[in-house]
């Protein structure tokens, strides 16, 4: 493992009964890069993410993060080490304001257990940092709006802010553009680029234009296996990749 690699998987495999959803996947993610994991529906992308964040245990293979074997660690442990997934369900409380949501994330990241009954003033010292985080995702003017009442794209920006509160070294994004219109896509793409400045990003994304614009490196999965890897140009000119996408109806 080179110093430059933040995440390395070797032979990562996941079987569900007789079915192998992920087969022998070896990936190297370079520190500081935006790395995309792409592939047709059912290729095994989310299953890979679930193994990386420890939501499911690999059937075989190893995962190393910053040189450390994390294959057997629990989700909370890998998060504490700096490998954090955004867009997790439950990331945002709809009845609380954007600011309150980020404050709670900050409080959690400091190891205090989240306590709804704690007085609001006890959280005030966190306001400054929370406002900074909201500003970094372009939500300053929505700080006092309820999370449930802002647009879909802004909710995702808020989810990114709550993830940034944990100060992840490696941030995993599963389909950040899913369900978004053009305007939101541009805004979130710019945001991803901005937050990638001092961290590594590994993302699953179906929007190939976004992948082309943002990614330094791309791994293509089909039927659970790595089909190709390289920069966008290399991958998009790959014959097998073109076939896999056309075969899956992606044109």
> What is the contact surface with Mg ion in residues (CB under 5 A)?
45-46
- Residues facing residue 225 across a β-bridge: 222
Other beta carbons within 10 angstroms of residue 201's beta carbon come to 24
- Give the residue, chosen from 46, 196, 207, 236, that forms a contact with ligand ATP under the rule CB under 6 A: 46
Helix (H, G, I), strand (E, B) or coil at 219: strand
Q: Which is nearer to ligand ATP, 57 or 122 (CB)?
A: 57
- Give the residue, chosen from 6, 43, 52, 211, that forms a contact with ligand ATP under the rule CB under 6 A: 43
- Structure token pair of residue 234: 């290399």
Give yes or no for a contact between 191 and 138, defined as CB atoms under 8 angstroms apart. Answer: yes
168: contact with ligand ATP by CB under 6 A: no
Distance CA 166, CA 25 (A): 28
Q: Which is nearer to ligand ATP, 45 or 156 (CB)?
A: 45
Q: Position of tokens 């370079």?
A: 30
47: contact with ligand ATP by CB under 6 A: yes
- Work out the burial of residue 241: count CB atoms within 10 Å of its CB; fewer than 13 is exposed, 13-18 middle, 19 or more buried: buried
- Give the residue, chosen from 1, 4, 16, 240, that forms a contact with ligand ATP under the rule CB under 6 A: 16
Q: Which of Mg ion, ligand ATP, none is residue 154 near (CB under 5 to 8 Å by kind)?
A: none
Residue nearest to Mg ion (CB): 46
Give yes or no for a contact between 224 and 23, defined as CB atoms under 8 angstroms apart. Answer: yes
Residue 196 CB contacts under 8 Å (≥ 6 apart), including other chains: 32, 34, 214
121: contact with ligand ATP by CB under 6 A: no
Helix (H) or strand (E) holding 30: strand 28-30
- Give the residue, chosen from 6, 7, 12, 21, that forms a contact with ligand ATP under the rule CB under 6 A: 21
Q: Which is nearer to ligand ATP, 50 or 107 (CB)?
A: 50
Q: Which stretch binds ligand ATP (CB under 6 A): 24-32, 36-44, 112-120, 140-148?
A: 36-44
**CB of 175: closest distance to ligand ATP in angstroms?**
7
Chain contacts with ligand ATP (rule: CB under 6 A): 16, 19, 21, 39, 41-47
């Amino acid at each position: 493992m080179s110093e430059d690699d933040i995440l390395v998987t070797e032979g990562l495999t996941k079987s569900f009964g007789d079915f192998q959803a992920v087969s022998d996947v070896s990936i190297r993610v370079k520190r500081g890069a935006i790395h995309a994991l792409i592939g047709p529906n059912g290729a095994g992308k989310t299953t890979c993410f679930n193994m990386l964040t420890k939501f499911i245990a690999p059937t075989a293979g190893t995962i190393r993060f910053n040189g450390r074997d994390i294959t057997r660690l629990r989700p909370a442990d890998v998060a504490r080490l700096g490998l954090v997934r955004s867009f997790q369900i439950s990331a945002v409380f709809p009845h609380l304001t954007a600011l309150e949501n980020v404050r709670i994330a900050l409080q959690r990241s400091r190891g205090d257990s989240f306590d709804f009954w704690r007085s609001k003033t006890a959280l005030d010292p966190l306001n400054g940092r929370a406002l900074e985080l909201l500003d970094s995702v372009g939500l300053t003017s929505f700080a006092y709006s309820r999370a449930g009442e802002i647009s879909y794209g802004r909710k995702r920006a808020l989810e990114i802010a709550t993830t940034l509160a944990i100060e992840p070294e490696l941030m995993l994004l599963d389909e950040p553009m899913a369900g978004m219109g053009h305007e939101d896509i541009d805004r979130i793409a710019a945001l991803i680029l901005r937050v990638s400045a001092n961290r590594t990003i590994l993302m699953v994304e179906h929007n190939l234009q976004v992948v082309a614009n943002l990614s330094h490196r791309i791994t293509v999965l089909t039927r659970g296996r790595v089909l190709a890897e390289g920069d966008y140009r290399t991958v998009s000119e790959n014959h097998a990749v073109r076939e896999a996408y056309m075969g899956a109806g992606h044109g």
